[in-house]
Amino acid sequence: MRHRLATLLFLPQALSAQEALVMRAETIAPGFVVVSGFTNGNILARLGSEGTVLVDAQSAKRVAQADSVLKALSAPPVRLVLLTHYHSDHVGGNPHWKSRGARIVGHANLAAQMRKDTLIAGWENWHRTPEPVEALPDETFADSLTLRAGGEEIRLVHIPAAHTDGDAIVWFPAANIIHTGDLLEREAPPFIDWWTGGRLEGMLTGVDWVLDHSDSATRIVPGHGTVARRSDVVAYRRMLLDAARETATGTRAPGRFTRLLSVGLEQFEPAGFRLRLAPGTPEARLPWLLGCWQFTRGDFTVTERWRVRAGGSLEGQGRSVRGDRLVDSEETAITARDGRLVFTARPAGQAQASFTEAESGADAITFTNPAHDFPTRVSYGSAGPARVHASVAGPGQGGDRVIEFPYDAARCPAE
Ligand SMILES: [Zn+2]
C-alpha cells in the first residue's frame, strides 16, 4: 500500500518527487517487461503471441499511463491479470484491463478485502474504501494455482498472513522470474497491513520462499522499487529482522516504519514470534545460509538445504549423490547456546556430533570440536552473491585434511 504523501516522505534522496511519478519500462528477460513508477506498484508484463499477461494492475489513476507504455512496446492485448494483493495501487487498474477483455485472478481473501469499507483509527485514520464491483477478480484460489500462457507455466503461491492476508507470489519458473508483490519493497521501508491479517512472521516466510526458489540468475520483481537479485533479498531479510528487534528493544531511531513495527509487535504479532527477536539467533546471524546450495564435480553432487525453525534456529539437510545413487545424507542444525552458536550434525547411520562456535565474522563462522575424530572444524561463509563456501577439516593421514564445498545457490527441489 502507498499513501501518496507517505510515499513521498519515504523517497530516497536521490529520487525526486517528480522523478517518482515517471513510468518506465525495463526488459528483464526476452518477452518480460517491468512497467514501473515508484509510487505505484510494479507491473510485470509477459508478452506473448497468445496475449499479454500482467502481474498487478496499477492504480486507477495511472493505469492508462501503464497501458500507453505497453502499447508503445507493441504488446499484444492484455488477456490475463494476476494480482499479488488487494491494495489499490496494485488492483485499481482492474476495471481498465477488464474492459479490454482481460480475466482477473487473485487470492480469495483479496476479493473479500476489496469489498470492505474500513477506517483504521490506529493508523493515520487510514480509510480503506471498497473497490468498484467491476474491479473484483473473475477467479480466485486458496493455496496455489498453476496457469499456462503460451505453453509456459505460471504459478501463484499464497503466503498466509504476510503483507496482507491475501498475498500471492507469482512465479515464472522457466523464465526464472518472481514477482513478490509488497512482500518485498525496495528504496523505501516496506509496509505490513496488520489490520487485514498481515504479520512480520509471514513476511519472513514469504522472503524465505523467494530464497528457496532463486539462484544467481533469478530476477525478483518487488512490489515497489528496482528489480532485485537474490543477494538483495538476503539483505532485506536481515533489515526486517534487525528493525523489528531494535523496535522491540527500544533501540531503533523513531520514524514511520518504527512506529508501524511497534503497533504490530504490540497488538498483532503472535507472542511466539518474539523469541525470534532475541539477539544473536542463528536466523539473525546467518540469513545468507538460508535456502538451497549445490556443488557439483563430474557426476558427484552435494546439496544442502537450510530453513528457519522455532525460535530462529536453523535446520539443515545435506545429501551427496553420485549419478543417481544417494551416497550420503545428514541432518544438521544450528542453535544458539549461551551466546554462541552450535552446529550439530547427524549423518545417516552415525552418532550425532556437536561443534561450538570458535570464530566468526559478519558473514563467516567456524565451529570446532577437538574431541571429534573427523572433522574437528566446520566452516560456512558467504562468498559473494548467491554463493556459500563451506569446509570441513581435521586430522588426516599425513597432516591436516580439508574438504571444500564451493556452493552455488540452487532452486530447492519441489517437496
Ligand atoms: Zn501493498
How many angstroms does the Cα of residue 191 sit away from the middle of ligand 1?
7
169 - beta bridge partners?
A: 157
Give the whole-angstrom CA distance, residue 41 versus residue 57. 8
Contacts 24+ apart (CB under 8 A), 240-246: 240/190, 240/200, 240/203, 240/204, 240/207, 241/204, 241/276, 241/277, 241/283, 241/284, 241/287, 242/284, 243/189, 244/200, 244/277, 245/277, 245/278, 245/279, 245/284
How many angstroms does the Cα of residue 58 sit away from the middle of ligand 1?
11
Number of CB atoms found within 10 A of residue 319's CB: 17
Q: Quick one: which of 351, 388, 389 has its CA closest to 369? A: 351
Give the whole-angstrom CA distance, residue 84 versus residue 58. 11
pLDDT, position 398 = 85
How many angstroms does the Cα of residue 86 sit away from the middle of ligand 1?
7
How many angstroms does the Cα of residue 26 sit away from the middle of ligand 1?
21
pLDDT, position 153 = 97
Give the whole-angstrom CA distance, residue 149 versus residue 323. 34
Strand, helix or coil at 157?
strand
How many angstroms does the Cα of residue 81 sit away from the middle of ligand 1?
16
Pinpoint the residues of the chain covered by CATH 3.60.15.10. 4-277
Lowest pLDDT segment from 7-16, 52-61, 294-303, 314-323: 7-16
- The fold of the 4-277 domain, in CATH, is Metallo-beta-lactamase; Chain A (3.60.15)
Strand, helix or coil at 159?
strand
How many angstroms does the Cα of residue 49 sit away from the middle of ligand 1?
31
CA angle 114/120/123 to nearest 5° reads 120
How many angstroms does the Cα of residue 2 sit away from the middle of ligand 1?
7
How many angstroms does the Cα of residue 90 sit away from the middle of ligand 1?
7
| Predicted TM-score of the model (pTM) | 0.94
CATH architecture of 289-410: Beta Barrel (2.40)
pLDDT classification of 171: cutoffs 50, 70, 90: very high
The DSSP secondary-structure symbol of 228 reads B
How many angstroms does the Cα of residue 163 sit away from the middle of ligand 1?
7
Pinpoint the residues of the chain covered by CATH 2.40.128.20. 289-410
How many angstroms does the Cα of residue 259 sit away from the middle of ligand 1?
17
pLDDT, position 58 = 92
Give the whole-angstrom CA distance, residue 297 versus residue 320. 11
User: For ligand 1, a single-atom ion, which residues have Cβ within 5 Å?
Assistant: 1, 87, 182
Look at strands 144-149 and 152-159 and give their pairing: antiparallel
Residue 73 pLDDT exceeds 50: yes
How many angstroms does the Cα of residue 182 sit away from the middle of ligand 1?
5
C-alpha cell at position 277: 527477536
